[in-house]
């Protein structure tokens, strides 16, 4: 008998640049890291219309061929069909393992583009260029890629880390208010699970019109730093990375039941965090939603009535990836900045948490 131990532990280090006007930095970095003639730019259709010139300046000095692959905006693009279309296009143009793929857009483009990069030729070099607040503070960092399936959100995917993330806040100049508010939810999440001081800094910022000023640059950099810290400790979500899922088991169920694209991911996560706070409080933890209260009107203003069939929502929660031995596992709070994973057995408390959160938006509940 022979006893072979195969060790494939790998760690990867990559830069996350946040700033205004990163063009020269990006061009220089691309030149230093890649020697291919071509790059694939998987890009959200709106970003392509609004910012194509900027991307050309970034890429053209380094690559002879820049292939733009446009994807329709919205959550529906996180589909098997869209993955196939992008992969088909790349493979029919011709690609080598060293040809980089740059994903330019919000969370949808990043998740889809990242998943394409992770699967074509079993892995292409990936660069994330997030163009929404949500993508800058969350989805472009940490290597979660994927698409949705009829049975649930993000159920097909891979952990696949990029070579770099470039968050240029110039892209935020064309972001509409709805998308700012969507991204704010993930920053509030960092406030809840890690640094409640973010709530205070942030209140003054969201009471003005949204402009990508220096204060925003620091909030984005701080949020990206929290995310990087957590992912660095637990890249594959076997422990503390699950805390980044605060509000998401509820939120993903809401997105699915409402129909993908009907409410945005951040809106759903905001509702989910209210439910998770309520559940935490029912268990006797000292969590009251006061810090979230000042942000509630932002969401109430832009959201249409939510699905109110709580049984259907609870059913949808059961396809969450944290489910273990058929047990629903929720990220709750012992107190602000103290998250933990709770095995949920009390469905009447779960129901009450949903009813509380939905009642903030559907006044008749």
255 binds ligand LNCXM5UN (CB under 6 A): no
Q: Are 101 and 39 in contact (CB under 8 A)?
A: yes
Question: Which one of residues 51, 78, 144, 194 is an interface residue with ligand LNCXM5UN (CB under 6 A)?
Answer: 144
154 binds ligand LNCXM5UN (CB under 6 A): yes
- The answer to whether residue 244 forms part of the interface with ligand LNCXM5UN (CB under 6 A) is yes
CB 236 within 8 A of CB 159: yes
Q: How far is CA 102 from the centre of its chain?
A: 17
Told to check if 130 binds ligand LNCXM5UN by CB under 6 A, we report no
Residue that the structure tokens 């019109």 belong to? 209
Is 78 an interacting residue with respect to ligand LNCXM5UN (CB under 6 A)?
Answer: no
User: Are 138 and 162 contacting, i.e. CB atoms less than 8 angstroms apart?
Assistant: no
Catalytic residue at 97? no
Q: How far apart are CA 30 and CA 199, in angstroms?
A: 36
Please state the closest distance from residue 290 (CB atom) to ligand LNCXM5UN, in A. Answer: 23
With beta carbons less than 8 A apart as the criterion, state whether 333 and 292 touch: no
Residue selected from 44, 70, 75, 138 as contacting ligand LNCXM5UN according to rule CB under 6 A: 138
Cα pseudo-dihedral 101, 117, 17, 35, rounded to 10: -40
Please give the helix or strand (H or E) that residue 250 lies within, else none: helix 248-258
Q: Which residue is nearest to ligand LNCXM5UN (CB)?
A: 154
355: helix, coil or strand?
helix
Answer for which of 51, 194, 241, 285 binds ligand LNCXM5UN (CB under 6 A) is 241
Position 245 contacts ligand LNCXM5UN (CB under 6 A): yes
**Interatomic CA distance for residues 100 and 190, integer angstroms:** 31
> Which of these ranges, 74-82, 122-130, 134-142, 218-226, lies near ligand LNCXM5UN under the rule CB under 6 A?
134-142
Q: Give the residues lining the site for ligand LNCXM5UN (CB under 6 A).
A: 138-139, 142, 144, 154, 186, 237, 241, 244-245, 248, 321
Give the residue numbers marked as catalytic.
122, 144, 186, 227, 237, 241, 245, 248, 252, 265
């Amino acid at each position: 008998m022979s006893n072979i131990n195969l060790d494939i532990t790998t760690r990867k280090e990559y830069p996350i640049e946040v700033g205004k006007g990163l063009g020269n930095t990006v061009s220089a970095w691309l030149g230093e890291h890649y020697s291919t003639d071509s790059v694939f730019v998987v890009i959200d259709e709106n970003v392509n219309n609004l910012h194509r010139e900027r991307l050309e300046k970034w890429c053209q000095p380094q690559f002879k061929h820049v292939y733009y692959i446009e994807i329709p905006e919205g959550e529906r693009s996180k589909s098997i069909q869209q993955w196939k279309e992008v992969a088909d296009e790349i493979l029919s143009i011709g690609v080598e393992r060293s040809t980089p793929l740059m994903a330019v857009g919000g969370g949808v483009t990043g998740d889809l583009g990242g998943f394409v990069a992770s699967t074509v030729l079993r892995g292409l070099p990936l660069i994330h260029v997030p163009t929404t607040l949500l993508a800058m503070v969350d989805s472009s960092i940490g290597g979660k890629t994927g698409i949705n399936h009829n049975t649930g959100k993000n159920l097909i995917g891979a952990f696949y880390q990029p070579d770099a993330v470039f968050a240029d806040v110039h892209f935020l100049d064309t972001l509409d208010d709805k998308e700012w508010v969507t991204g704010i939810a993930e920053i509030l999440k960092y406030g809840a699970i890690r640094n409640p001081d973010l709530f205070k800094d942030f209140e003054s910022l969201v009471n003005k019109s949204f402009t990508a000023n220096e204060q925003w640059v620091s909030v984005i950099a701080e949020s990206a730093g929290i995310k990087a810290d957590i992912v660095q400790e637990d890249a594959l979500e076997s422990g503390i990375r699950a805390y980044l899922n605060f509000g998401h088991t509820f939120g993903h169920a809401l997105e699915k039941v409402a129909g993908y694209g009907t409410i945005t991911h951040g809106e759903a996560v905001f509702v989910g965090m209210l439910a998770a706070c309520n559940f935490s409080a029912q268990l006797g933890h000292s969590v009251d939603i006061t810090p979230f209260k000042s942000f509630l009107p932002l969401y109430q203003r832009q959201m249409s009535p939510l699905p109110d069939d709580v049984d259907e929502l609870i059913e949808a929660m059961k396809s969450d990836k944290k489910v273990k031995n058929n047990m629903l596992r929720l990220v709750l709070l012992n107190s602000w900045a103290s998250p933990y994973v709770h095995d949920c057995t009390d469905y009447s408390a779960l129901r009450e948490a949903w009813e509380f959160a939905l009642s903030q938006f559907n006044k008749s509940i």
